Each structure stands twice: as C-alpha cells, then as structure tokens.
Structure 1
Amino acid sequence: MHPRVIANALGAVYAAGGAAMLVPALYALLVRDGNALSFAAPALATVVAGAAVFFLTRSERPYVSGRDVYMIVTLGWLGVGAVGAIPFVLSGLMGPVDAFFESMAGFTTTGASTIGTPEEVAPSLLLWRSLSQWAGGIGIVLLFVAVAPLVGFGATQLYSAEAADPVPDRMTTRIADTAKILALVYGSLTAGGVVALFLAGMNPFDAVNHALTTVSTGGYSTRTESIAAFDSVAVELAVTAGMVLSGVNFALYFRAARGRLGLAVGNAELLVFLGILAVSALMVSASLYTGGASLPSAGRDALFQTASLLTGTGFVTADWKAWSPFCQGLLMLLLTVGGSAGSTSGGLKVVRVMLLARHAWQQVFKMVHPQAVTLLRFGHRVIPERLRIAFLGFFFVYVLALVTGTLLLTLHGVPLGASFGSIFACINIAGTALGPVGDAPFFAGLPASAKVLLTFFMLLGRLELFTVLVLLTPEFWRS
C-alpha cells in the first residue's frame, strides 16, 4: 500500500464532504433554526484539514495499487459518514452512536432512522439527511473520480470499486468522462424530480428533499407517514416515476441521448426489470382487490409499493406490512432482487439474478445433455467464465453475510426474526423489512453495539461486499 496516495485521496474526499455541509449551514441561517454553527464548524474544520492533507501529500505521478483503491473507497465512506454525524450531535438531536447510524444510513442510502417524528426536527437537519442520501446515491468517490485527471489519480480502479457494476460497460473511452456523464444524468433526474413534485403540489422544501431522496432511492422523508402524508395521486405518480427511472442503469440514458434509443430500450436487463415491476404490481393489486380493496385503490398502492421495494427506496403510501402474507413475501423477494446494475438501487441487482437463473437452467440442461457446450449470455454478449464464477461467489458471500450478521445481532439480545430482518434491510440498503424492522422506535431501541454492527452491514451492502471484505483478509495486509 501507499499511505501517501491514500491520504491524498482521502483528504480530497473529506474536504468535499465538509463542503457539502455548507449548504445546510446557509439554509439554517436563512430559516433561523439555530443550527448554522452546528454545520459551519465541522464543515470549515473538515475542509481546511482535508485540503491541508491533500496539498501536503501531492505527488507528480502517483501509482495507485489495488490495495490503495480498496482503502480509499472504504475509509472514504467511513470518514464522510463520521463527519456527517457531527451536526446531529452538536445540534443536540442525538448522541454520537445514533448520529453515526443516521449519517451512515444516509450516505449509504439505506434509509434506516432513529428519528420517529421528522416534523419535530429542525429543517436544516432534515435537509442534511436528504443531501447525504443524494451524495451517497451517486457516490462520494464517484464524484471525486469525475475530477481525477485534475487531481492526478488514475481513475479506472476507483470507478470500478465504487460503481461495482456486475457487467462493466463503459460509456466513453475515458473513465473520468464516464463519471461526469453519470453525474449529469443524476443531476438531471434530480432537477426533474424537484419540478415534478412541486407541480404535483408539494411545497418547495418538501419537493427538494423528496427529489433528493427519490433519485438516490434512499427513502428519507420530511414526514412521519412518508409519502402517505400528502395523500395525493399526483405526488405518488411523480415519486413512482422517479423511483423507477432511478432504478434503471444510468448508462442507458446516455445511449438514448446519443441516438441509440433502440439499444437502450432493448436492453435485456431493462426489459426484465420493467417486467418484474409490472407483473409484481399486477399480482399485488389482484391480492389486495380480492382482499376487499377497491380496484383503483389496490392498483395505486400496489404500483407504488412494488416500485418502492424493488428499488429499495422504502417510501410508503400504505401499511404494506399488514397486507396478506403473499404480498409481504413477494415484496421481500423484490427487495432482494433490487434494481438494475449501474443504478442507485440496492439488492442483488437484476442482472445478477438473470445470470444466476440462466446458470441454474444450464446445469439442469446439462443433466439431460451431458456433452452439450452451453454459453452464458447477457443480451448479445457472451459472459466470460471468470464472471460466471464471480456471480456465484458473490451470491455465496451474500448469503454467508446474511447468516453471519443475523447470528452476531442475536448476541445483542435481538430476537431471531428481527435480527435477520435488520441485517437483510441493511445489506440490501433498503432500511426496511417485515415486522418492526424499518420503524424508527425499533432502531432507536437497539443497543449501541448493535447499531454499530448494522452500520457495518450498510457499508457492506453499499459497496457490494467484496470492496469491504477484502480488507478483512490476511492476504490484503501481506506485503
């Protein structure tokens, strides 16, 4: 490893995180909620310290190794999460552990929270929660990669570690240009969300906050009842559209803008993603209708909650945990699947589920035709054997992480069902599951050590397992 290179990159990342806190600091001054200093002090301290480390550790042509990349990405998320927790503590809203939990749930876009009544929280703190999810959605490191040529880093490794795309597909020949395009798409979706929600009837503050947490599929809301508090079909349709658009691979928007609409619309993963959404919404709607709900109400609630759980956003318009066991089970399955690769969604990702299913079918086919040579395809592409092995390895580690995390959480006195649900919610960066999991009183009531454990699994899920787990292997630390 190269400590100088790691320190240089982290200095830039932390300075960017500190600069982001100036936005809620200015808003606190504007609305006079008394929290301007709670943001300004850590913001200025972080910017100054980060900039100092960055300039003191600069070198002309630094060599960035794989170990450096994993350290930069993991420590970048942990450090920004720790800095982002400071305003919650200085404002007196919560203690250090709860603040770190809240901050990491924001930056990882998990959406878990210990705040039971957002309406009672200062507006600047609510804005900071939303901004943290927005920043986490595109990725602090990915935004840094966009300006990597100016900084002097080789950006390819950083992009690969942060984006964690199961089937990498660059939009441009230069990785920094790719990152800039992703940021442009992300910004455009955010701006469109603000306008749509404002036109749908939200006030400017609510529109901005919900647009930030919709495009990031994070799910933080300014209201205790989430989207249900607005009781508006227009708002629900705008949020649903935002969640679905954010669950799509952002690279497809670039293809469409470049005149390759046919390739974008015909993308295999996109078609399966939309198919899962449509079929699941119809099944949930039918179940609600047969359970006594009116057809319009059943269709409205089913579409919204299906989109919310499939993308891992976690917004609610109805008490879906009181629905039939079939609906609950289907929605949990959707949460496991997640959105498309290259999106802000959590879960396994649709492309992995597709390829795992095709691999399983090929194994059955080979039992009947042992001599057959079968190729694993994704659209028109043949997937190399190394990627097939990677998908199988990822799924095994995913299941192992769920089991291990569940057992560790039970050691804190949490019941088995709630332990599994908590780990499941965090590793899929959705923040919600069956039972009490997802409710603020549940997370607030957990022991401090359990909250710290859950923040680790949030990070594990956000960086898709291997980026973090590689740091725990003895081989990583051997020279």
Structure 2
Amino acid sequence: MHPRIIANVLGAVVAATGAAMLIPAALSRLVSDGYAGAFFLPAAAALLAGTLTFALSRGRGAYLSIRDVFLMVVLGWVAVAIVGSGPFVLSGLMSPVEAFFNSMAGFTTTGVSTVKSAPPSLLLWRSMSQWVGGIGIVLLFVAVAPLVGFGAAQLYSAEAATPLTERLTPRIRDTAKVLVYIYAALTAGLAAALLVAGMGLFDAVNHALTTVATGGYSTRPGSIAAFDSPAVELVLAAGMILSGTNFALYFQAVRGRLREALTNAEYLTYLALILSATAVMAASLYAFDYQDSPLRALRLALFQSASLTTGTGFSTADWDSWDPLSQGLLMVLMAIGGCAGSTSGGIKVVRALLLAKNALQDAFRMVHPRAVTALKLGRKVVPERLRASLLGFFFVYVATLVAGTLLMALHQVPLGAAFGSAFACLNITGVAPGPAGDPAFYAGLPATAQLVLCLLMLLGRLELFTVLVILTPAFWRG
C-alpha cells in the first residue's frame, strides 16, 4: 500500500469538508441562531489538519494498487462523516456517537435522524452533507487526482460499483465534470421550480439539495406534508424521478442521442415500476382509505412511489397506516431502488431487471435443457462473468440484511423494528414501516446499535463490496 498517497487524498477531502462548513457558519451569523461557533471551530480544525496533511504528503506519483483504491474510498467516507459530526457535537444537541450517526446518515444520503427539528444553520449543513454525498465524495478525489499523480479511473470505478458502467467521455476527469454540471443544473432548476411553486427561499434551497441527492432531509418536522401544496408535491415528485435516473442518459440527450436515452431498458423499467405501483396503490387507497377522494389517493400514491423508489424518503402522509398492499408495494420499491448511475439506493433497477431475466431463463432451460440463451440488456449481451456477479451481489445483499437485523435484535430491539431499521439503512431510504421511521426510535438506540446502522449505511452507499472487501483477510495479505 501507499500511505502517503492515501493521506494526501484524505487531507484534501478533510480540508474541503472544513471549507464547506463556512457556509452554514455564515448563515448562523446572518440569522443569529447562536451556532456559528459550532461551525467555525471544526471548520478551522479541518482546514488546518487537512491542508497540512495534504501539503506534507505531497510527492511524486506512484503506482496505485486496487487495495489502495478501496481503502481510500472507504476511509474518505468515514473521514467526512467524522469531520461533519463536529457541528452536531459542539451544538450540544448530540453525543459524539449520535452526531456521527447523523453525519453518516447525511453523507450517505440515508436521511435518518435522531432529532425532529434543528436551527437553520444545522438544517442547511444536513442538506449540504446530503448534496455532497449524493454526487459522491469520489469526485473530490477525481478533482485532486492530477495533483496527487495517480489514475482516477480506478477511484471512479470503485465508487460507481454498478454493472455495465459506461464512461461519458474518454477521460475520467471530463466524466467527473459532466456529472457535476448535470448535478448542479438539476439542483438549480429544482430550486427555481420550488420557488415558483410557493416555497420560501430557504426551504426551496434545502429541499432542492436533498431532492437531487435523493436524501430526503426536510426543513419541517412534518416533511413535505407540512406544506400541503399540490404544486410543491408535483415539483418534488418530478425532481425525485429525474434524480433517480442514470445521469449518463442526460449526457446522451444533450449530445443529440435523445431517442437512445429515452429507450434505455433500465430507464423504461424504472418508469414502469413507478407508474404501475402508483396505479395499484391509488386504487387500493381509494378502496380502503380515501373512498371519497380518488384524486387524493392518486396524489399520495404518486408522491410516495417516487419518493421511496428513489430512496429519498420524503412523505406527504403517514403511509405507515396505509393498507397492507400499499405498504408492501412501497417496501418492494425501496428494495429495488432507482437507476444505476444515480444517487438512489437499493439493489438498482438494472440489477433487478437482469435478475428477473436470469430467473426466466432458468425456468425456460428446465423445459428446454439443450437451449442456449444469452442474457441481454436491451441489445447488449451480458457477459457470463457479470451474470455470476449479479447473483453474488444479491446473495450478499440478503445476507447483509439478515446480519444487520440480527445485530439489531441483539440489542433487544423488537424484531420488526430491527428489520425495519436495517432495511432502511442498507437501502439508504431512511424510512420503513413501524418505529424505524421515527427520529425518537433512533435517538433511543444504544451507541453500539447506532454504529451498526452506520456500517449498514456505508455498505448501502458504496454498494456492499467496496466496503466488505477491506474486511477480508485476503485484502491485508501481501
């Protein structure tokens, strides 16, 4: 391994996190909420420590092994979560472990929280942490790659961790820039649309940041239901659906390949899932919950389908009290998640689609044992190596969910709540039926249980293998 290079990158990331804290610090001074010191102190410490580490570890580039890459990505996420927890601790609202839990929930875009309300500066910091986490801390690595002197393609691959990855441009730095431009444009456009829909400036900026990140932090304890505005809900639903789409498709559309983008197999499946779930839930809600208002049932079903498919976690109603069919559909949507190449969580639509096709092929081969069938995604044939990796990913996903549930149960958490909290954190949705959607539930957990959920958030954000590989003995040998 190359500790100098790893330290160099981590130093840059820590310094950048400290610099970002100056924005909510300035807001705190502006609105006089009394928390400016809670930001200035950790910001100064992070800037000093990060800058010194970066400067002292600079040197000539060296070959970067795949072990260096995985370790750098995981340590980068842990480092920003630790640094980002500083304002929560110094505010006096949380213990160090609880602050780390909330910070990890922000940067991984999980969106769980142990508090229902907070001062404006802390609300903005939560939103900013989700926005940064959404685009991926690895983009900071890519930005400093020329200074450090190693190939950024390895880092991008480790962060993406998605099947059938496709570069948008020949150079990885240019790819990173494209992703940032798309991300920023979506954020600015959504903020403007929310202002037009009737939100105030502070609310619009915060919700734009957390919607594009599919994170789900809101400025109101009642989430989006507090605004009670069909216009706001429609804008946010559209924003969540756009943010759960593979960003590569936007690049294709801009380059004149709109037809190719719109006919993408994963994208069409993603839209079909949301629309079909909306139709079924609207009918179910109309029949069982809102018999006098089919339009309200449709409004609620569309918003929650978009919110939970993308893992955003915004809510316009207490869907925990909905009928069992609607709740079950929402759980399925949370597990599948959004598109690969987006900020959503879950298994990802492309994996679910390929797993379904693989199951159908296995059934066909039972009837036609001599048949030779290729697994395809659109017009592309999926390599057998990728077929095996999909099955491996699904097994590890289920095993991790089971292990997380049992670890939570070990803390004497009731089985339903244990599963719900593990499910919410692994799929980085932040919500689940039962107490797992209530901040008071997470605030009441022991510190070790909160750390277990932090690990599940990190596993979900980095799609399991990036984290699990560094826990294997083989990773540290030779």
**Shorter-chain TM-score: what band?**
over 0.9
1:445 paired residue number: 444
Alpha-carbon contact 2:245-2:341 (below 8 Å) kept: yes
Matches within 5 A, 1:221-236: 221-236=218-233
2:107 paired residue number: 107
Q: In structure 2, the residue corresponding to 1:73 is in which secondary structure?
A: helix
1:411 paired residue number: 410
Greater shift, 52-61 or 198-207, is seen at 52-61
Query: Aligned partners of 1:447, 1:45: CA distance in 2, in Å?
Result: 29
Q: In structure 2, the residue corresponding to 1:436 is in which secondary structure?
A: helix
The one-letter code matched in structure 2 to 1:476 is: F
**Deviations 1:279-299 (CA, angstroms, capped at 9, x unpaired):** 110000000111225111011
Q: CA deviation at 1:147?
A: 4.3
2:87 paired residue number: 87
Query: Aligned partners of 1:243, 1:8: CA distance in 2, in Å?
Result: 35
Q: In structure 1, the residue corresponding to 2:435 is in which secondary structure?
A: coil
Alignment partner of 1:258 out of 236, 252, 255: 255
1:53 paired residue number: 53
1:468 paired residue number: 467
1:67 paired residue number: 67
1:29 paired residue number: 29
Alignment partner of 1:139 out of 112, 133, 136: 136
Query: Aligned partners of 2:153, 2:63: CA distance in 1, in Å?
Result: 12
Residue 338, structure 1, aligned to residue 337, structure 2: yes
Identity across the alignment (%):
65
Query: Aligned partners of 1:31, 1:442: CA distance in 2, in Å?
Result: 31
Alignment partner of 1:205 out of 202, 206, 215: 202
1:429 paired residue number: 428
Query: Aligned partners of 1:48, 1:62: CA distance in 2, in Å?
Result: 26
Residue 125, structure 1, aligned to residue 84, structure 2: no
The one-letter code matched in structure 2 to 1:275 is: A
2:245 paired residue number: 248
Alpha-carbon contact 1:418-1:437 (below 8 Å) kept: yes
Q: CA deviation at 1:95?
A: 1.2
Alignment partner of 1:148 out of 145, 150, 153: 145
Contiguous gaps of at least 5 residues in structure 2: none
1:392 paired residue number: 391
Q: CA deviation at 1:59?
A: 2.0
The Cα RMSD (Å) is 0.9
Query: Aligned partners of 2:210, 2:475: CA distance in 1, in Å?
Result: 35
Change (3 A) 1:293 1:396: farther
Alpha-carbon contact 1:142-1:163 (below 8 Å) kept: no
1:189 paired residue number: 186
Matches within 5 A, 1:259-298: 259-291=256-288, 292-298=291-297
Change (3 A) 1:328 1:377: same
Greater shift, 60-69 or 76-85, is seen at 60-69
Alpha-carbon contact 1:143-1:179 (below 8 Å) kept: no
Give every structure 1 segment of 4 or more consecutive aligned residues whose post-TM-superposition deviation is greater than 6 Å.
none
Query: Aligned partners of 1:360, 1:379: CA distance in 2, in Å?
Result: 17
Contiguous gaps of at least 5 residues in structure 1: none
Q: CA deviation at 1:18?
A: 1.2
Between the two proteins, the alignment pairs up a number of residues equal to 476
1:309 paired residue number: 308
Q: CA deviation at 1:150?
A: 4.1
Greater shift, 17-26 or 459-468, is seen at 17-26
Alpha-carbon contact 1:436-1:442 (below 8 Å) kept: yes
TM-score (norm 2): 0.98
2:8 paired residue number: 8
**Deviations 1:285-343 (CA, angstroms, capped at 9, x unpaired):** 00011122511101100000010111111000011111100000010000001000000
